[in-house]
Amino acid sequence: MKQTMMRMLLHFRSILLGVLTILVLIQAQDQSGFISIDCGLPQHLSYIHESTYINYISDTKFIDTGVSKRIQFKDDIQQQLEYVRSFPSGVRNCYRINVTSGIQYLIRVSFYYGNYDNLNETPQFDLHFGPNVWDTVTFSSNDLGFAFKEIIYTPSQDYIQPCLVNTGKGIPFISAIELRTLNNNTYTTHSAKSVLSLSGRFHMVSKSIENLQYRYKDDVFDRIWYSQLYNKNVARLNTTLHSDDLHQNDFEPPAIVMSSALTPVNASDPLELYWNADNGNDQYYLYMHFNEVENLAPNETRAFNIRVSDTFWHGPVIPIYRKVKTIYSTTPLTGGTRYPISLFKIENSTLPPIVNAIEIYKVKDFSQPETKQDDVDTITNIKNAYGMARNWNGDPCGPVKYMWEGLNCSIDGNNIQRITSLNLSSSGLTGQIAPSISKLTMLQYLDLSNNSLKGSLPDFLMQLRSLKVLNVGKNKLTGLVPSGLLERSKTGSLSLSVDDNPELCTTESCKKKNIVVPLVTLFSTLIVILLISLGFWIYRRQKATWSKSKKKDSMKSKHQTFSYTEILNITDNLKTIIGEGGFGKVYIGILQDQTQVAVKFLSKSSKQGYKEFQSEAQLLTIVHHRSLVSLVGYCDEGEVKALIYEYMANGNLLQHLFDGNTNILKWNERLKIAVDAAHGLEYLHDGCKPPIMHRDLKPANILLDENMHAKIADFGLSRAFGNDIDSHISTRPAGTPGYIDPKYQRTGNTNKKNDIYSFGIILFELITGRKAVARASDEYIHILQWVIPIVEGGDIQNVVDPKLEGEFNINSAWKAVEIAMSCTSSNEVERPDISQILAELKECLSLEMVQRNNVSTRARDELVSIATISETTILAR
């Protein structure tokens, strides 16, 4: 009998547990439109929240960066806050969450520090939403490291991208992301670009219970209602109210929230409320929810008007028993840092005013357009096709400061960002050219050079009708170049570069180049062998003679030795001074063949000495490059020391930027100068063996010829080092204040990255039209002190030289600023090599030239010259 009873009890218990489980599951499944993500939760885990019964899942399928961490402080925290996802790597890390476009969502992100990193120090970081800045996440001293942000947003794409941005004030992290669908006709704004950011959502607490919160399932939208106490001159009206008792409207505030109301103690007094704004320029939307909680007698009435900031806002308001009425602003409220709300009864009302709940939203400007979804999907497919490890996430085109590496974008006529430039040069690409590229229909610039791409140059590239520049050089492509591309190249509508693809042909005749008659081949081979043998014999006989005369003849033909008398004749007795620097005065001269030259004397009072004179003379006899000033000869006669250079008709860059020159350098001219100078520096750093560090790069040492072609000059402080290890040795600090790498100035340890810093300062001078060090209000301000805050604020218009009057490509300008910022990074390891800088500057110039015109024949020739220039390397010994 006992056994039978026991079996029955166990059976009943199992049935009861099963029923309870089913009830919980049913309750948990009643969440249509809910997306609840526990950030950092291990991939295999999910759960039903212990109090709300909301189903939470891991974030691993929404992001592929960051690391999972578990918090240490766990007292009285919500279950979804126990894990965090931390982002120690990368500046911007973004989630991508699929949604339904055109549907209004409540989007809430939560952060609970909980000392997950054992540092006991909360960070500060920025929160972005696609291309727009959402907010800054901070933690006050009394919130135990908890913060949340909430917006009401209607996506135009079928995904959203919340992003965490490292601003250098600690590692970003996130605890939870929650999305809830709303009724589309509820929370509206006057502009589609305006987003509602929660400033406060309060219910008038009943029974004096503090810190009481309501959310799902009390609130069908899972809005969180916080208690708000007003203990001065107010009373609370309470009733028992169930959901079925309340006639709802579209806002559907919870019945438990609408069951209590606030009213003044003195029936004749107004009900006074207020909220404080963050600053006087903020705009707000106010929502007030009313429900009559008392069943009024026939002789009782309750009617009142509402003032906001001492201005009539709405009235009369007549709450109805057990029926929700919501009053809200249809245009944003403005007016200082404090917003008083006054509810006062009208003359014939017998009862004072009441209010049950209030919502306050601050307006956020999300006016930065998103990138067209087709372009986003296409560039993502390209990334996947080539298996690139780049941290490409978030919106590709915005914010502009965080535009994806290798891209440039423009806004089309529909105010949508489109990808117009794709630079995948030197990206380690293999396989064939991805067909996805043809879907970037607005592409104007495509650079796939210096990779290992194989196969033919595909016909689908002809579908890119906007394409102005195509560079596929230095690959392993084969076959014929499509005739359509060749035709566009001939007409000037396309700058085409296909060099260094040995098996890629531009004419039909190349099909026959491998078809040869065996007999002819044999005969040709014999002739080649005989010629080689003959040449080798002649070489052996002449080698000794060549060796004896080579050095003397070379020096005589390339670098002449001049006497002082010859110098006086050349310069017409030192008649015309064309410049003066730390080395000494510079005179114009004319050689016997009527070639103009510049003669630079070493002054006895010069800060630079004979050692620098020797250094420059020796260096320029062995390095030769089209972007370095050429040495014609020198004079070393007693106390007279002089160097004779090619004459640079347009002086130096300093004169054009700062010396009151009325001929303002255009944006494309500035970029061309930067590209030329980068070519010269690349030769010194990478083309010379051992590499050479200039150590005194500045605008005064960048000279311009009659065609405004820039060349680097003044090598008196340059040093050659055997290898990159040797280049990190201590030397006497050299250079010009404002351009010297601060770390080099402190330690004296020099390397290539010191020149990169100086080059970055020059770039900023070209961009801004400001000197490296400028005097302002009795103090000297370095250009980085001025420019960095403006750049971080995203204000490119106030960065670029106002003398240009807005005549520049904004994408090209942002790209140039990004290059300059990377060059001047305080961490020299993060500074790019000059070869990378040169490639990116070429892209800037190409974008500017494409926008200015449809690539005229002359512009096309310049682009081809820039893209395909072959540098001659002469080793420096």
Amino acid at 612: E
Q: For residues 859 and 495, give the distance between their C-alpha atoms in angstroms, rounded to a whole number.
A: 9
CA separation, residue 416 to residues 96, 232, 250 (Å): 19, 52, 32
Residue of 146, 143, 152, 66 whose CA lies nearest to 110: 146
User: Which pairing describes strands 357-365 and 284-290: parallel, antiparallel, or unpaired?
Assistant: antiparallel
Amino acid at 687: G
Chain CA centroid to CA 47, Å: 37
Q: For residues 591 and 566, give the distance between their C-alpha atoms in angstroms, rounded to a whole number.
A: 9
Q: For residues 497 and 423, give the distance between their C-alpha atoms in angstroms, rounded to a whole number.
A: 14
Amino acid at 572: D
* Structure-token pair, residue 258: 């609408």
User: Which pairing describes strands 631-637 and 560-561: parallel, antiparallel, or unpaired?
Assistant: parallel
For residue 263, count other CB atoms closer than 10 A to its CB. 22
Residues 237, 303: contact at Cβ < 8 Å? no
Q: For residues 286 and 843, give the distance between their C-alpha atoms in angstroms, rounded to a whole number.
A: 48
Q: For residues 30 and 248, give the distance between their C-alpha atoms in angstroms, rounded to a whole number.
A: 19
Residue of 135, 111, 127, 125 whose CA lies nearest to 167: 125
Q: For residues 102 and 120, give the distance between their C-alpha atoms in angstroms, rounded to a whole number.
A: 42
Residue 696 annotated to the active site: yes
Residues 69, 117: contact at Cβ < 8 Å? yes
* Structure-token pair, residue 753: 């990255």
Q: Between helices 810-823 and 667-682, what is the axis angle to 10°?
A: 30
Which residues, including other chains, have CB under 8 Å from residue 719's CB and lie 6 or more apart?
692, 693, 695, 731, 750
Which residues, including other chains, have CB under 8 Å from residue 469's CB and lie 6 or more apart?
444, 445, 446, 447, 494, 495, 846, 850, 855, 863, 867
- DSSP class of 190: S
From start to end of 387-502, where are the E strands? 407-411, 417-423, 430-431, 445-447, 452-456, 469-471, 476-480, 495-497
Q: For residues 642 and 601, give the distance between their C-alpha atoms in angstroms, rounded to a whole number.
A: 4
Q: For residues 191 and 807, give the distance between their C-alpha atoms in angstroms, rounded to a whole number.
A: 30
SS3 592: coil
In order, the DSSP letters of 615-684 are HHHHHHTT---TTBPPEEEEEEETTEEEEEEE--TT-BHHHHHHS--SSPPPHHHHHHHHHHHHHHHHII
Q: For residues 444 and 421, give the distance between their C-alpha atoms in angstroms, rounded to a whole number.
A: 6
- Which residues does residue 345 pair with via DSSP β-bridges, in sequence order? 304
Residues 799, 792: contact at Cβ < 8 Å? no
Q: For residues 93 and 116, give the distance between their C-alpha atoms in angstroms, rounded to a whole number.
A: 19
Burial of 616 per CB tally in 10 Å (0-12, 13-18, 19+): buried
Residues 85, 67: contact at Cβ < 8 Å? yes
Q: Which helix (H) or strand (E) holds 271?
A: strand 271-276
Is 600 flagged in the annotation as binding? yes
Q: For residues 733 and 754, give the distance between their C-alpha atoms in angstroms, rounded to a whole number.
A: 11
Q: For residues 16 and 328, give the distance between their C-alpha atoms in angstroms, rounded to a whole number.
A: 48
**Catalytic annotation, pick one of 59, 117, 222, 696:** 696
- Residue ranges of the annotated binding site for ATP are 600
- Residue ranges of the annotated binding site are 600
Active site residues: 696
